[in-house]
Amino acid sequence: MINPSQEIIDSAYVKDYEKLYTEVKENPEAFWENIAKELSWFKPWNKVLDWNYPYARWFVGGQCNIVNNALDRWQKTDVAEKKAYIWVAQDGTERTFTYKQLNDAVSRFANGLKSLGLKKGDRVSIYLPRIPEQFIAMLACAKIGVIHSVVFSGFSVDALKNRIVDAEAKVVICADGYPYKDKVVECKKNVDEAIENIKMATGGTPGRDPGSAQVTSTDGKDKAGQNLSQIEHVIVIKRAGNNIQMQPGRDIWYHELVAKQDPICSTVIMEATDPLFILYTSGSTGKPKGVIHSHGGYMVGTYSTLRWIFNLQPDDIYFCTADSGWITGHSYIVYSPLMNGATTFVYEGTPDYPDPGIWWRLVEKYKITKFYTAPTAIRALMRLGDEIPNKYDLSSLKILGTVGEPINPEAWLWYHRVIGKEKCPVMDTWWQTETGMMMISPLPASPLKAGSASKPFFGIETEIVDEKGNPAPVDTQGYLIIKKPWPSMLMDVYNNPKRYLETYFQNEAITNTQIFENKQFFYFTGDSAKKDADGYYWIVGRNDDVIKVSGHRLGSAELESAFVAHPSVAEAAVIGKPDEVKGEKIKAFIILKKDVQPSDQLKEELKQQVRKMIGPIATPDEIEFVDKLPKTRSGKIMRRVLKAQELGQPLGDTSTLEN
Ligand code: PRX
């Protein structure tokens, strides 16, 4: 157990976790209601929580807009002149935005979006790298009630296409290109190709469309066929200055669009339960799911968690290394820091470019106080030794954070010792795209255990259960579930309520169907974990077919469909294998089509195929050609068996195995 210093305890918002946790447990709704009152609302709610299985609706009847809290409410205060963002490019160029400047930029762009005919409820796909316009675009959409769907800039054409189609987006916002290490990524080309592919699919072109399996909606209809010319405009931000093709009538330069606009735009009044954004994330089966978050509940949950867990103070310079293509960026680079009036630091590049001292140099130069990153980066930097961080003055740091995958005690201790100089507590925050906010985490004043995410946040009731849904004994691995709704809980899966119900509330891992029949709140996280005798949670990892590569969430099924799209492949099964740096790596078992000869060249081709279809983050590490795959009698691939075999572990229950 590592105890916090007196200085940390003195400065913490919450000094006695146990006491407050127990109090809040009695009446969590009152707790969340009090937090909601710290924010601005156009109209108060009639009901804090409306639980109607399997949907939780928060602050029902309330009217708000998250942008009203992120930007508008600061404009007549001192915060207006405070820096909202300090952004540093890969080449060291700096751009800063005060809250006033950010508000002007967002308002101009919101007016620009309106001038294109976008209105409340429309969807826009944002395919942007980590540049300020990524945040501006998200906020501009939210301001006018347009639902944004951010697509990570590292995703490739097919992944982008599937997300555009599923969200039924009318507009795509992208960049011409962006610097990535010493290359320029020509991302506008991907947008052109994605739109072209959508058109081809909708034009009824026969033949194989590898992505189409992933764009089939629940009713079995290929959604690409529903909306023939859905993309009306592509708005292009000039970042790299590379040569691109602009399609007349469709493509618009961002700088030309906003130059004509007024910097004043009224923020649209939203119901608390109106959708704010869709964010796609991988599940066990099929295509990635469009997780929907609301304006009201999401606002309350994200606002309070960062504030308390990172002990946000007015003079903080907070550096979150995530990308807004993922939930961490949505919640904790964009919305929550702005609602807290914080100054957020963003670095455009990667942790190893121009050299692996870059983060620590930035910490020194900008006097970063709060630093939030992922275990995979910590492990990669740790391997390079203490010398690099030791060259820099890291004394401004006060609190460190980690998220995205389990952090091994060795990496935790290194982070605590070498980066935090044993004075900065490490907040190991467990949460998910679906939870919207941090759910299990220490607080700055908590005693810490290296490698444990500690305990649930106030108002969050978690449990470890066995497959019957009964609480598991101490130190015994089981399913991590959540027993009460929380404000920033996902509202639904876009266009797929069945998948929402089955993934989170009627998960097949729980065999006790009485839980479902009783319509009990029993949110299934998909993670395995243990709880120790002190009530500390130890997250083991996913218990479904989701793989976490460097903290990025990938589904076995999406990877397999990328393999199967190759003309030589008959069948594919993909598993995650432990990796010292990345957490997990991808291993694929491939059955080739008859008469196809296995070769190293083919392995390389298959790797490139997956990279091209999903993105570089999905590049497989190992490929093995096999003749057979373990299957159930109903024909489902038993990845669990493959994984156990690969890792030399017991095979477990194989009674349903066909061969
Ligand atoms: O397996 C857990 C892991 O990441 C999953 C959620 O992934 P995603 O939706 O991409 O969101 C990541 C950023 C919030 C979880 O189901 N995970 C996340 N945080 C932790 C973690 N595993 C262990 N420890 C964590 N702190």
Q: How does pLDDT run across 573-616, given as a tens digit for each residue?
A: 999 999 999 999 999 999 999 999 999 999 999 999 999 999 99
pLDDT at position 223 is 47
pLDDT at position 208 is 29
Helix orientation angle between 28-36 and 17-26, rounded to the nearest 10 degrees: 100
Query: Closest residue (by CA) to atom 14 of ligand 1?
Result: 432
Contacts 24+ apart (CB under 8 A), 592-598: 592/568, 592/625, 593/567, 593/568, 593/569, 594/570, 596/568, 598/625
- Is 447 within 8 Å of 4 (Cβ atoms)? yes
Ligand 1 mean position to 405 CA, how many Å?
5
Instruction: Indicate if the alpha-carbon torsion angle 347, 555, 461, 473 is positive or negative.
Output: negative
**212: confidence class by pLDDT, cuts 50, 70, 90:** very low
Query: Closest residue (by CA) to atom 25 of ligand 1?
Result: 430
Instruction: State if residue 502 touches ligand 1 by the CB under 6 angstroms criterion.
Output: no
pLDDT at position 546 is 94
Instruction: State if residue 545 touches ligand 1 by the CB under 6 angstroms criterion.
Output: no
Q: Which two tokens stand for residue 603?
A: 């392995």
Q: Which two tokens stand for residue 277?
A: 């954004």
Instruction: State if residue 209 touches ligand 1 by the CB under 6 angstroms criterion.
Output: no
Give the lowest-confidence range in 207-221, 399-413, 549-563. Answer: 207-221
Instruction: State if residue 432 touches ligand 1 by the CB under 6 angstroms criterion.
Output: yes
Ligand 1 mean position to 541 CA, how many Å?
8
Instruction: Indicate if the alpha-carbon torsion angle 548, 551, 554, 555 is positive or negative.
Output: positive
Give the lowest-confidence range in 206-220, 281-295, 403-417, 477-491. Answer: 206-220
Where do the H-state alpha helices sit in 501-594?
Answer: 514-517, 556-564
pLDDT at position 244 is 97
pLDDT at position 225 is 41
Between CA 85 and CA 226 the distance in angstroms is: 40
CA-wise closest residue to 163 among 136, 128, 125, 130: 125
Between CA 72 and CA 260 the distance in angstroms is: 22
Respond yes or no on whether the N-terminal peptide bond of residue 54 is cis (omega within 30° of 0): yes
pLDDT at position 229 is 52
- Predicted structure pTM score: 0.95
Return mean pLDDT, the chain.
Answer: 94
28 to 48, 367, 486: CA distances (angstroms):
10, 37, 9
**Residue among 289, 527, 543, 546 whose CB has most ligand 1 atoms within 8 A, to mutate:** 527
Instruction: State if residue 401 touches ligand 1 by the CB under 6 angstroms criterion.
Output: no
Query: Closest residue (by CA) to atom 22 of ligand 1?
Result: 405
CA-wise closest residue to 140 among 158, 159, 163, 124: 124
The DSSP call for residue 419 is I
Between CA 599 and CA 625 the distance in angstroms is: 9
pLDDT at position 33 is 98
Instruction: State if residue 336 touches ligand 1 by the CB under 6 angstroms criterion.
Output: no
User: Quick one: average pLDDT of 261-286?
Assistant: 95
The DSSP call for residue 656 is T
Between CA 568 and CA 582 the distance in angstroms is: 29
- ∠ at Cα 412 (407, 415), nearest 5°? 130
335 pLDDT above the threshold of 50: yes
For the chain, percent of residues with pLDDT exceeding 70: 96
Give the lowest-confidence range in 326-335, 351-360, 512-521. Answer: 512-521
Query: Closest residue (by CA) to atom 13 of ligand 1?
Result: 404
pLDDT at position 213 is 32
398 to 395, 444, 448: CA distances (angstroms):
8, 10, 15
User: Quick one: average pLDDT of 619-624?
Assistant: 97
**How many Cα atoms are found within 13 Å in the side-chain-facing hemisphere of 384?**
14
219 pLDDT above the threshold of 90: no
Instruction: State if residue 239 touches ligand 1 by the CB under 6 angstroms criterion.
Output: no
pLDDT at position 659 is 65
pLDDT at position 634 is 82
Query: Closest residue (by CA) to atom 3 of ligand 1?
Result: 405
209 to 159, 212, 289: CA distances (angstroms):
13, 5, 20
Instruction: State if residue 479 touches ligand 1 by the CB under 6 angstroms criterion.
Output: no
Instruction: State if residue 430 touches ligand 1 by the CB under 6 angstroms criterion.
Output: yes
pLDDT at position 202 is 75
For the chain, percent of residues with pLDDT exceeding 90: 90
- Is 172 within 8 Å of 235 (Cβ atoms)? yes
CA-wise closest residue to 448 among 471, 472, 429, 475: 429
564 pLDDT above the threshold of 80: yes
pLDDT at position 658 is 77
Ligand 1 mean position to 18 CA, how many Å?
24
222 pLDDT above the threshold of 50: no
Instruction: State if residue 542 touches ligand 1 by the CB under 6 angstroms criterion.
Output: yes
Instruction: State if residue 281 touches ligand 1 by the CB under 6 angstroms criterion.
Output: yes
- Is 241 within 8 Å of 176 (Cβ atoms)? yes
User: Quick one: average pLDDT of 136-144?
Assistant: 98
Ligand 1 mean position to 404 CA, how many Å?
4
297 pLDDT above the threshold of 50: yes
pLDDT at position 228 is 41
Respond yes or no on whether the N-terminal peptide bond of residue 447 is cis (omega within 30° of 0): no
Residue 427 dihedral angles phi and psi, to the nearest 5°: -95, 100
The per-residue pLDDT for range 99-127, each reduced to its tens digit, is: 999 999 999 999 999 999 999 999 999 99
Ligand 1 mean position to 547 CA, how many Å?
11
Give the lowest-confidence range in 7-21, 172-186, 433-447, 623-637. Answer: 623-637
Instruction: State if residue 328 touches ligand 1 by the CB under 6 angstroms criterion.
Output: yes
**129: confidence class by pLDDT, cuts 50, 70, 90:** very high
211 pLDDT above the threshold of 90: no
pLDDT at position 224 is 43
**How many Cα atoms are found within 13 Å in the side-chain-facing hemisphere of 470?**
2
The per-residue pLDDT for range 416-454, each reduced to its tens digit, is: 999 999 999 999 999 999 999 999 999 999 999 999 999
Query: Closest residue (by CA) to atom 15 of ligand 1?
Result: 432
The DSSP call for residue 418 is I
**Residue among 432, 490, 537 whose CB has most ligand 1 atoms within 8 A, to mutate:** 432
